Amino acid sequence: MKDFAGKTAFITGGASGIGLGIATTLLEAGAKVVIADIEQAHLSEAKTMLASHEGAAHFIRLDVRDRGAMRRAAEETAQIFGNVHILCNNAGTGLSVPIEEASYEDWDLIFSINLGGTINGIVTFLPGMKAHGEGGHLVNTSSMAGIIPCPSWAGLYSATKFAIRGLSESLRLSLAPFNIGVSTLCPGMVDTRIMTAERRLRPERRGSGADDWPEKMEFAMKPREVGARVLEGIRRQSAFIFTHGHFREEVAALFAEILDDFPPPSEPCAEEKAVEDARRRDIEVRKALIVAQVARV
Ligand code: NAI
CATH number at residue 135: 3.40.50.720
The Å distance, Cα 222 to ligand 1 centre, comes to 14
pLDDT of amino acid 210: 57
Among 194, 216, 241, 242, say which to mutate for ligand 1: greatest number of ligand atoms within 8 Å of CB. 194
Share of the chain above pLDDT 70, in %: 96
Confidence tier at 212 by pLDDT (50, 70, 90): low
pLDDT of amino acid 289: 95
Pocket of ligand 1 (CB under 6 A): 12-13, 15-19, 37-39, 42, 62-65, 90-93, 113, 117, 141, 143, 187, 189-190, 192-194, 197
274 found inside a domain: no
Number of domains within the chain: 1
pLDDT, tens digit (0-9, with 9 covering 90-100), for 115-125: 999 999 999 99
Domain residue limits at 217: 8-262
pLDDT of amino acid 46: 98
2 found inside a domain: no
178 found inside a domain: yes
The Å distance, Cα 93 to ligand 1 centre, comes to 5
Average pLDDT, the chain: 94
280 found inside a domain: no
Please list the active-site residues: 157
Query: Among residues 139, 91, 114, which one has the least CA distance to residue 241?
Result: 139
189 found inside a domain: yes
Among the atoms of ligand 1, which is closest to the Cα of residue 13?
7
pLDDT of amino acid 50: 98
pTM higher than 0.85? yes
pLDDT of amino acid 286: 96
277 found inside a domain: no
Report the pLDDT averaged over residues 47-59: 97
Confidence tier at 203 by pLDDT (50, 70, 90): confident
Report the pLDDT averaged over residues 254-283: 96
The Å distance, Cα 37 to ligand 1 centre, comes to 10
The Å distance, Cα 90 to ligand 1 centre, comes to 6
111 found inside a domain: yes
97 found inside a domain: yes
**By alpha-carbon position, which residue is closest to atom 26 of ligand 1?**
17
